[in-house]
Structures are given as structure tokens and as C-alpha cells.
Amino acid sequence: MQDIVLTVFALTALLGLVSLLLPLADRLAVPYAVLLAAVGCAIGALSAFASSLVGVGIVGDMVHALDGFDLTAEALLYIFLPALLFETALNVDVQRLTEEIAPVLLLAVIGVLVSTLVVGVALWASFGVAFLACLMLGAVVATTDPVAVVAVFRDIGAPRRLTMLVEGESLFNDAAAIALYTLLLAMITGAHPANPLEALLDFVREFTGGLAAGYVAGRLVTWVLPALRDHRLGETTLTIALAYLVFVISERYLFVSGVVAVVTAGLVINHEGHRRLSPSSWKTLIRTWEQIGFWATSLIFLLAAMMVPHLLTGATLNQLALLAVLTVAAFAARAITLYGLMPMLSAVGLAQRVGLDLKLVILWGGMRGAVSLALALAATQNEALAPEIRQFIGVLATGFVLFTLFVCAPTLRPLMRWLHLDQLSPADIALRDRVMALYLSTIGDQISQVALEHHIGSDVATDATRWYAGRAEAAALIAEENAQLPPEARLRSAVRILVEREEELYRQHFDARAMSRRALARLLSRITLLRDAAKSGGIAEYRAAGARVVEFPRDFRFNLGLQRYLGIEWPLARDIADRFEAQLIARLVIQELRGFNADQLHRLFGGGPSKALDAELATRLDLVGQAADALQLQYPSYAHALQSQFLTLWAIRQEELQYQRLRSESIITPEVFNDVIKGLTERRRDAERRPLLDLGLERQALVARVTMFADLDPRKRAKISRLLRPLLAVPGQTVVRKGEHGDSMFFISSGAVEVRLAPQPVRLGSGDFFGELALIDNRPRTADVVALGFCRLLRLSSRDFNRLMRTDDGLRQQINAIAKERRDGATAD
């Protein structure tokens, strides 16, 4: 181990260098990763060459430090890989990733297996090198590195889908390749029996184990995060600890894939953190991670590239031929996955089709990078491997990585241009021109105004204005032509913008602290429905999704069940309170959206689409309004409390904005500002405490409201009420389902239900009962009974019902009489 001072010296010097490489890459128009690799190789070669020539002193020490960097591959992977992967996972669009999960996993996992096999067999068959060593090399070169490629994609404005596929693939294939590499290593060194089936099972176990470990750890942290109460430094630190802890624990103690675990944990934080942290905290977290990710990527690349000269020592001409075979085989393997396996996936409906042009880019853009180099390094450093195998893997893997970086990466951009993948879609072009036509002329007008105010000569202003006027005119002309764009396409674009705007507005309300995190989460999960609809089609899908938005979600049903069967009330009460709050905000936001549509979208897309959208928004507003009214009717005092909380929070926010303005204009000093903000924060904390919702399921009160029981003498009523279980039914809920076995009957204490009978449904209200026929006649339920609004019911189990019918003559007569009427009614029909 070299002197720690020298290590710090060398590392910081490298960081200094890295900071300069960024602008240099821009200037040279080469991908940053490619420049890093080139510089790394050069440093490696130079420091090795110069270290025997220089003595001590600042330059000498630096050269020795760089040359003597005895970083092991394990250190490289343990120090940098978790940060690198976590950061990528944090920035991936999880929504899109889930949509594309089938092709991503195919590319990542199956792709790695195919690559390992094809490369292994090709090299073994053509040169007779040990088969397992060839397979191992196949695994080493199977990891793709998105850094170089994604940068090109972003630069060139490639379709988002392409970026998603390549990024997603690289996230998971590192894991697959590392797991496979470790397995093959164990087989070569004899630590693991060379049984393919067992190896495959091990591979699956590691992968799924990693998924589970990462998921659990990620959930745990998202659960703890809100408890840190907006302490941003703490929040970010916790996620850093998560990335490394989950990696080490998975690898060392659980014997599952640490890489998969980190990626999964990152995805969970990505998905959940957004909802659980305040927007500014989330921004801080992402920024910090961006910095960490940048350091990790740069250093892992640079350090791995510095080893290249060392890895290539002893390369022979014969190995050049091997490299040629390896290159052809690696591309062939990727082509098999892309052109052979992926269409099969689409054919069985597991994935959307990927166009031939995108496939070609994915094929050519499969850069190999730091992880391949680190694995090659690990192989060369492994004493358990025979020297010739170490050298074989070191040289060939490095050669191939260099080929992809120095040949494929620089040619990717021309390839994409050739395929026209650098162009915007027609809808985007139309939108761009319209935006330019609309806004450039406004800016032109403003220029003259500003020039006048600042005493700038009119000739100067005219020059500037002319340019804008010219551009605006040209754009207007093109926009005119594009008005020919089919109306559906314009409508589709408008719907998409509307959905994005809706999400943005929810976030703004949350940012203004006008609603709880739980309500935001609920609203955002609904946005997903709307977004999918907007993507998949036109207005009809949007309408259907809008209607689904007010439905009760699945977990809600679970909570209804908890209350119904176990009498546990609070999860349901909390759910309903969330719903209340979400509806309050949704109403507001849809109103705002109508304004946005009438103003902005009308200007951008014209009257037709805007009118159609307004009709949809009006329907949505109606639906949300009805749902909110149903709640308000049932829980008026709670609705009142919530509305007053909303107003208080809104007022506090306005107050805060005022103070911030006064502070930014230096009217109040920092001390005064802090003082008023302190008071405000306390008031806000009090106001944010949401009142508890009482579902109103107190048994005595409910029993008293059923006339049949109210008339009984108190002792008898008390006896019966002990047998009844209060229960809440929500609008649209099917309380009793036709054809099912009946285990209880219900009395309606408040609200109304509908018995779905043909040809005419029958409505029952407070004091009525239902579900008795199945118990008396001992046969399946005769009809669906659906709650029309929020209903409070009393449930009587069949056992207690039978007992009551035996012992209570009055009740039996009443129930039997009504049951008979109902049966007769059915026969008469």
C-alpha cells in the first residue's frame, strides 16, 4: 500500500484533471467517457514510462503516486460501483422502465447469457482456448456502459425510448454479468461444481435475491425518510448509506447480487422518494447524487483506463486475430438478442415493437466501459487463475472495450444522423413552430419597449427587432402549413401537455404546503392513469381514465375488509380522509386546468382541441364534485374542518411568500426574517396536523336509527345490538353479490342501497334490511346489492340470525313477512 498522502495527492490531481476534461470534451465534440478513457490510457502509459526516469519532488511524487496506484479490482468495484448504479437508478424514469421492463430484462439478462455463450463458443471453437475461460471472457465483455452512449443520445435529441432501453439494459446487465463472472470463476477454480443447471439456478437465486434485498432495504429507507423532517443533509446521507450498505450486506452476508440490490433500492427511492420528500429536499438529494455519480463515473473510468497499458502487456499478434473473432462474436450475440429474441417477445405481446433503426443503434451503441475493465482487472489479479488465462482475459477484454470506445462511440452520432434519429417527431416540430410563431413576435415587441426605457438608439433596437420579426414570420408560415396536421394529432399533443400540467399543479400545491404527502401520493398515482391514456390514444382513453380516477383503489378495498371483518377502523378512516383531501385539491386543480386550456392550449392548438378538452375537464369536474359531495353529505363537520385547514395553510404560505419578498428586497434584516419565519413554522406545524375522521360507526347510535330495533324495549335492544357489527360501505361498493353464499344479513342505519333486480332495480334506505333471503332459504344470494352513497350498515351473522329467529317471535314475523313479499314480487315478475 502506498503512502496515504501520495494517494490523496494522486486522487485529487485526477479530480482536478477531470474538471478540465468536461469542457474539453465539449470543445472537441467527443463523448466525455471516450475522452476519459483516452486520457486514462495516456496517464497509465506515461506514468509507467516516466516513473523510472523521475526522482522525488512534486512531479516525481505525482508520477510515482499515479504509477503506484495499486487499486484492486475489488476496491474499484466496491468503492465506485454502488454510487454509479444508485445514481443511475435514481434518475431513470421508473414509469417508463416498468413499461419497457420486458425488452430491458431481455437485453440485460438473456443478452448477457447469449453473449457469454456465443463469445465463449466462438473463441473456443476457433482457437481451442479452455472453454470456461472463453465463457468468462464472454461474461466480462457483456456489460454495457451507457455513459458514452446516453451522452450522445441527449446531445442529439434521440427518442426517449431509445435512451430508456439502453439505460435500463445497462442497469441490469452489470448485475447479470458480474454474477455470471463470479460463478464461472468459482467453476474454473473448482470452488463450484461445473454443472450448468446448478449454475443457472444459482444465477437465478442471486438475481432474485438481490431484487428482494434491494426492495426491502429501499422500502425501509423510504419509510424512515419522512421522520428526518426535511433535514436535507440527513436525508441525502441516509440514501448514501443505503446504497453502500445494501451492496455490502447483499454480497457479504446474504450471498445475493449486490449490484441488483443497489439498483433495486435506487429504483424504490426514485419511485417513492418523490412522494415522501418535499420537492426542495428531493431536488437537493438529486443534485448531491448527481455530483457523487459524476465523481464515481469519472474516477472508475479514469482509474480503470489507467490500467489498460498494464492489462495489455504481453499482447501478441495472435491475440489480434482473437480480438477480431471476439468482436464479431460479441456483435453477433447482440444481434441475435435484438433481431432474433426481441421480435419473439413482441409477438407474444410482452413488449412493444422496437423499430429496426433503433435496434441498429442499440447494436452499435453497446459500449463497454469501466465495469468490463474492472472485471478484466479482477481476472488478471486473481492468483487462482492460470497466468495464461489471466493474460488472455486481460488483453482481449481491454482490446474490445477500446474498440467500442474508440471506434463505435465516435461513429454513433453519424449513424444516428443517417437514420434520421436526431429529428423531432412531426407533432413536436409542429408544436415547436407554433410556439415560436406565437412568442417570438411578442419578444420583438418588447425589445423596442426596453430599448426606449434604457435610452438605447432606435437603430440598434430595429436591428434586434428585425431578427425576431423575421424568425416569427418564418415560423408562422411553417406553422400555417402544419395546421394541416390531422386534428387528432393536435388533440393528442394537447392532452399530453394537459396531463403534465396537472401533475405540475399538484406538485405546486404540495410545495405550497397546502396538502399532505399522502394526498399527493394518491393524486400522483392517478396521474399515471391519465398519462397512460394520453399516450395510448386520444380523448376516449382520457375520458375513461378520468372516470377511473374517482374509483376506489385496491388497497382501499383491503381497508374496507379490515373494518368489515376485524373491526379495525383507522386505516379506512385515514383512507377516506386522504380521499377527502385529494378531492378538495383535484377540484381546484381541474378548475385551474380549464383556465390553462382556455388560454395556453387554445393559443397553441386552436379552438377545436381546446373545446374538446374543456368538455372533458367539465365532465371530470362533475365526477370529482359528485364524489366530494357524497363525502361532504356524510361527514359535513369533517369537510368543514378540512376546508378550514386548507385555507389556513394557504394563508400561511402567502405570508411566507411576502416575508421572502421583503427579505429579497432587503426591507427586512435576516434576523427579523428568521424570527417571523420561526413563528410561522410553528403555526404551520400545528395547522398541518390533520384532524382525525370519525367514521361514525358507534354501534348504539346506529342501532337506535333502525326503526325495527328502536321500538324494542331497552333490554331486548341491548341484547340484539350486541350481535350487530357496524360497517361502512362506500359509493358503488357491492355489499352482497348475486350467486354467492350468504353468511350474514344487513340493516341500513344510514344511506341507501340499490338491489339490482331486473327489469327494475329496487332502492332501500335507512331502516330497511337486505341479505335475509339467502339465510332463510339457505340458497345463494338472489341479487347484487350496491351502495349508492356512503352507507352505515349493521351486519348480523347467519349464526346469530338463526338464533334470533328462534328466540324472538316479533322480529321473526317482521323479517319473514318482508322476505315473503320480496319472494312473491320475484315470482310475480
Residues lying near ligand CMP in the complex (CB under 6 A) are found at 736, 742, 755, 757, 762, 770-774, 781-783, 785, 822, 825-826
CB of 567 to ligand CMP, least distance (A): 23
Beta-bridged to residue 784, according to DSSP, are 756
CB of 745 to ligand CMP, least distance (A): 7
CB of 794 to ligand CMP, least distance (A): 14
Surface-to-core class of residue 201, CB atoms within 10 Å of its CB (0-12 exposed, 13-18 middle, 19+ buried): exposed
Surface-to-core class of residue 443, CB atoms within 10 Å of its CB (0-12 exposed, 13-18 middle, 19+ buried): middle
Per DSSP, 190 falls in state T
Surface-to-core class of residue 135, CB atoms within 10 Å of its CB (0-12 exposed, 13-18 middle, 19+ buried): buried
CB of 816 to ligand CMP, least distance (A): 12
Which is nearer to ligand CMP, 34 or 785 (by Cβ)? Answer: 785
Return the H-helix or E-strand segment holding 749: strand 744-750
CB of 818 to ligand CMP, least distance (A): 8
CB of 628 to ligand CMP, least distance (A): 29
Which is nearer to ligand CMP, 13 or 757 (by Cβ)? Answer: 757
Per DSSP, 770 falls in state E
CB of 778 to ligand CMP, least distance (A): 10
In contact, 548 and 477? CB cutoff 8 Å = no
Which is nearer to ligand CMP, 572 or 785 (by Cβ)? Answer: 785
Q: Give the closest residue to 306 by CA, choosing from 598, 40, 23.
A: 40
Which is nearer to ligand CMP, 611 or 779 (by Cβ)? Answer: 779
Per DSSP, 745 falls in state E
Which is nearer to ligand CMP, 425 or 813 (by Cβ)? Answer: 813
Which is nearer to ligand CMP, 484 or 827 (by Cβ)? Answer: 827
In contact, 701 and 646? CB cutoff 8 Å = no
Q: Which residue is nearest to ligand CMP (CB)?
A: 774
CB of 743 to ligand CMP, least distance (A): 10
Between helices 279-306 and 32-50, what is the axis angle to 10°?
Answer: 40
Surface-to-core class of residue 21, CB atoms within 10 Å of its CB (0-12 exposed, 13-18 middle, 19+ buried): middle
d(CA 665, CA 660): 9
3-class DSSP assignment, residue 747: strand
Phi and psi at 264, nearest 5°, equal: -65, -45
d(CA 396, CA 373): 10
Over its C-alpha atoms, the chain yields an Rg (Å, rounded) of 34
CB of 268 to ligand CMP, least distance (A): 44
d(CA 513, CA 515): 6
Cell of 204: 437465478
Which is nearer to ligand CMP, 421 or 773 (by Cβ)? Answer: 773
CB of 810 to ligand CMP, least distance (A): 19
3-class DSSP assignment, residue 55: coil
Phi and psi at 797, nearest 5°, equal: -70, 160
Which is nearer to ligand CMP, 607 or 759 (by Cβ)? Answer: 759
Beta-bridged to residue 763, according to DSSP, are 754
CB of 742 to ligand CMP, least distance (A): 5
Which is nearer to ligand CMP, 403 or 769 (by Cβ)? Answer: 769
Which is nearer to ligand CMP, 65 or 753 (by Cβ)? Answer: 753
Return the H-helix or E-strand segment holding 796: strand 791-797
CB of 733 to ligand CMP, least distance (A): 14
Per DSSP, 92 falls in state S
Lookup result for grid cell 386522504: 578
Which is nearer to ligand CMP, 456 or 804 (by Cβ)? Answer: 804
d(CA 339, CA 118): 15
Which is nearer to ligand CMP, 426 or 825 (by Cβ)? Answer: 825
Which is nearer to ligand CMP, 483 or 826 (by Cβ)? Answer: 826
CB of 821 to ligand CMP, least distance (A): 8
In contact, 81 and 375? CB cutoff 8 Å = no
CA of residue 23 relative to chain centroid, distance: 31
